[in-house]
C-alpha cells in the first residue's frame, strides 16, 4: 500500500490515517508464452501374421520426426484467416511474443494442412447440406485478384474470379466459396440453390434469376434499391420527387417491421397493417409517376434510367416488399456485404491470391473459423486434435535434438 496521500497537493504520511474497509481490484492477463518440448517414447511391434512393423503415433505428430504442435499451428493460421495478416508478417509476428522463429513456408503449410483436413472431413458438403436445410438464405459476391485463375481442367479460366458468400440472416452459418467467373453456371455449381425451395435475399444480379421459379420467394436487397433511387433522384428535380417518395416509403416500412419485431407485435394487426398499406401505396404511386415522367425525356443510350428503374421496381414490387409479410426475412442483404468485408480487407492488405487453389483454401478455412466462432466456439480450440493414447509420454525434456519443421 502507498505510504503517502495520493490527493493532489497533499503529501501527508498515511501512517497516522484511519483504516477503512478494504476494496478490491482485478487484473486479467495471459501467461507468458514459452516453448515446451515433449518427447514421446513410441512403442513398436511386429505383426505375428504378416511381419509388418507397427509404430505408435504421437499426438499431433509422427514417428521419427520433430514437428510444431497444434497451438503453434493455430498461431500461424489465425492472424491470416481472422486478422488478414500476410504470411510473411505472420511469421515475423510469431517470433516476437513466442520466440518461435518460423518460416513463411510453415505458415502457408499450416493453412494448407487445415484446409486439406476440412476437405477430407467433408466440410463443404456438410455446409451445403446445412444451408439447404435453412428457410432463409442471403447471397452476394465480390471480385478478387488471382494471379493464376485456373479452372477445374487446369486451363486458364475466362472471366473474373469472385468470392461468393452464402449465409443465414444471422451469423450462425457463413460459407465462402471461390468461383473462377461471375456466371450463372458457376453460381449453379455451388450446389446450394438448385432445387432449393425457400426464401433467397439477394440483389438483382441476373445469375440468380435461374432459381426464381423454384424458390418460395425472393427478397430484393433494399439497400441496393435505395442506392438506385438515390442515383435517379440526383438526375433532375422531377425524378427527385418520386424517387425520394419511394425511398421514404421503404424506410418507413422497415421501421414499422423493426418496431413490431422488437415489441413482439403481430405485423398483421390493424395499426401496423394500415401503416404498411399506406407506405406501399406511396411506393406504388411513386413508380407510376416515375414511369410517366420518363417516357419522353431522351437519354444518350437507350431509355432514361428513371424509366428503367421505375419499371423494374414496379414489376418486382412484391420482391422488394416481401419483408413486410415474412418477418424472418431481412429487408437488406447487408449481412452478406458485411461477410464479404473479410476477403476484401485480406485482398487490400495482401494484394492478391497467388492461385485459385490458395483462394479456395482461404475460403474453406475462413468459413470454418467464422461459423465456429458464431456458434460460441473459440477459434484456437478448433485446431486441436484429440490426444492419442498411443505411446508413452515423457514431458519437459530440453535435451539437444533436431529442430522442429
Which of 307, 332, 357 is a domain's end point? Answer: 332
Q: Domain total for the chain?
A: 2
Q: Are residues 391 and 310 in the same domain?
A: no
Q: Which phi-psi region, left, alpha or beta, contains residue 33 (left: φ > 0; alpha: ψ -120 to 50)?
A: beta
Q: Is residue 338 part of a domain?
A: no
How confident is the prediction for the chain on average, in pLDDT?
Answer: 87
Q: Look at the block and give the residue holding cell 406504388.
A: 284
Q: Are residues 327 and 391 in the same domain?
A: no
Q: Are residues 321 and 391 in the same domain?
A: no
Q: Are residues 239 and 322 in the same domain?
A: yes
Q: What is the pLDDT of residues 88-114, one digit of tens each?
A: 888 888 887 777 788 888 888 999 999
Portion of the chain with pLDDT greater than 90, in percent: 57
Q: Which pLDDT score is estimated for 361?
A: 93
Q: How far apart are CA 29 and CA 180, in angstroms?
A: 45
Q: Is residue 344 part of a domain?
A: no
The answer to whether the CB of 169 falls within 8 A of the CB of 334 is: no
Q: Is residue 292 part of a domain?
A: yes
Angle (nearest 5°) at CA 177 between 171 and 182: 115
Q: Which pLDDT score is estimated for 380?
A: 58
Which of 289, 317, 332 is a domain's end point? Answer: 332
Residue numbers of the domain that contains 288? 222-332
Q: Which pLDDT score is estimated for 389?
A: 30
Portion of the chain with pLDDT greater than 70, in percent: 92
Q: Is residue 357 part of a domain?
A: no
Average pLDDT of the residues in 156-180: 91
Q: Is residue 293 part of a domain?
A: yes
How would you classify the pairing of strands 199-202 and 217-220? parallel
Q: Which pLDDT score is estimated for 95?
A: 80
Q: Which residues pair with 162 in a beta bridge?
A: 143, 179
Q: Is residue 210 part of a domain?
A: no
Q: Are residues 245 and 328 in the same domain?
A: yes
Q: Which pLDDT score is estimated for 379?
A: 60
Q: Are residues 328 and 390 in the same domain?
A: no
Q: Is residue 32 part of a domain?
A: no
Name which of 62-66, 263-267, 393-397 the model is least confident about: 393-397
Q: Are residues 320 and 390 in the same domain?
A: no
Q: Taking the model in full, what pTM does it have?
A: 0.81
Q: What is the pLDDT of residues 269-291, one digit of tens each?
A: 888 899 999 999 999 999 999 99
Amino acid at each position: 500500500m502507498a505510504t503517502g496521500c495520493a490527493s493532489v497537493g497533499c503529501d501527508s504520511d498515511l501512517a497516522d490515517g484511519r483504516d477503512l474497509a478494504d476494496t478490491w481490484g482485478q487484473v486479467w492477463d495471459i501467461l507468458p508464452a514459452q516453448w515446451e518440448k515433449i518427447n514421446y517414447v513410441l512403442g513398436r511391434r511386429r505383426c505375428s501374421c504378416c511381419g509388418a512393423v507397427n509404430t505408435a503415433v504421437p499426438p499431433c505428430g509422427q514417428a521419427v520426426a520433430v514437428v510444431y504442435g497444434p497451438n503453434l499451428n493455430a498461431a500461424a493460421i489465425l492472424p491470416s484467416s481472422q486478422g488478414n495478416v500476410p504470411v510473411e508478417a505472420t511469421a515475423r509476428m510469431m517470433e516476437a511474443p513466442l520466440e518461435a522463429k518460423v518460416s513463411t513456408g510453415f505458415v502457408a503449410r499450416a493453412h494448407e494442412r487445415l484446409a486439406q483436413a476440412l476437405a477430407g472431413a467433408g466440410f463443404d458438403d456438410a455446409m451445403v447440406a446445412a444451408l439447404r436445410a435453412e428457410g432463409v438464405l442471403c447471397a452476394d459476391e465480390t471480385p478478387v485478384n488471382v494471379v493464376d485463375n485456373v479452372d477445374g481442367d487446369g486451363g486458364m479460366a475466362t472471366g473474373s474470379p469472385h468470392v461468393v458468400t452464402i449465409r443465414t440472416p444471422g451469423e450462425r452459418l457463413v460459407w465462402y466459396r471461390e468461383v473462377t467467373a461471375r456466371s450463372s453456371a458457376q453460381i449453379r455449381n455451388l450446389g446450394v440453390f438448385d432445387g432449393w425451395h425457400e426464401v433467397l435475399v439477394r440483389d438483382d444480379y441476373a445469375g440468380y434469376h435461374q432459381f426464381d421459379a423454384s424458390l418460395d420467394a425472393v427478397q430484393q436487397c433494399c439497400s441496393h434499391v435505395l442506392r438506385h433511387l438515390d442515383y435517379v433522384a440526383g438526375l433532375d428535380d422531377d425524378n427527385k420527387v418520386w424517387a425520394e417518395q419511394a425511398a421514404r416509403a421503404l424506410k418507413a416500412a422497415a421501421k414499422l417491421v423493426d418496431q413490431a419485431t422488437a415489441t413482439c407485435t403481430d405485423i398483421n394487426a390493424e395499426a401496423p397493417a394500415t401503416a404498411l398499406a399506406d407506405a406501399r401505396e406511396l411506393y406504388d404511386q411513386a413508380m407510376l409517376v416515375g414511369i410517366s415522367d420518363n417516357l419522353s425525356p431522351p437519354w444518350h443510350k437507350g431509355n432514361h434510367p428513371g424509366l428503367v428503374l421505375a419499371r423494374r421496381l414496379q414489376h418486382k414490387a412484391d420482391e422488394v416488399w416481401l419483408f413486410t409479410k415474412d418477418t424472418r426475412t431481412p429487408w437488406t442483404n447487408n449481412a452478406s456485404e458485411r461477410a464479404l468485408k473479410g476477403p476484401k480487407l485480406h485482398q487490400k492488405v495482401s494484394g492478391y491470391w497467388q492461385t485459385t487453389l490458395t483462394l479456395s483454401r482461404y475460403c474453406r478455412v475462413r468459413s470454418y473459423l467464422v461459423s465456429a466462432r458464431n456458434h460460441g466456439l473459440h477459434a484456437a480450440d478448433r485446431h486441436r486434435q484429440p490426444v492419442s493414447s498411443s505411446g508413452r509420454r515423457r514431458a519437459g525434456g530440453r535435451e539437444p535434438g533436431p529442430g522442429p519443421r
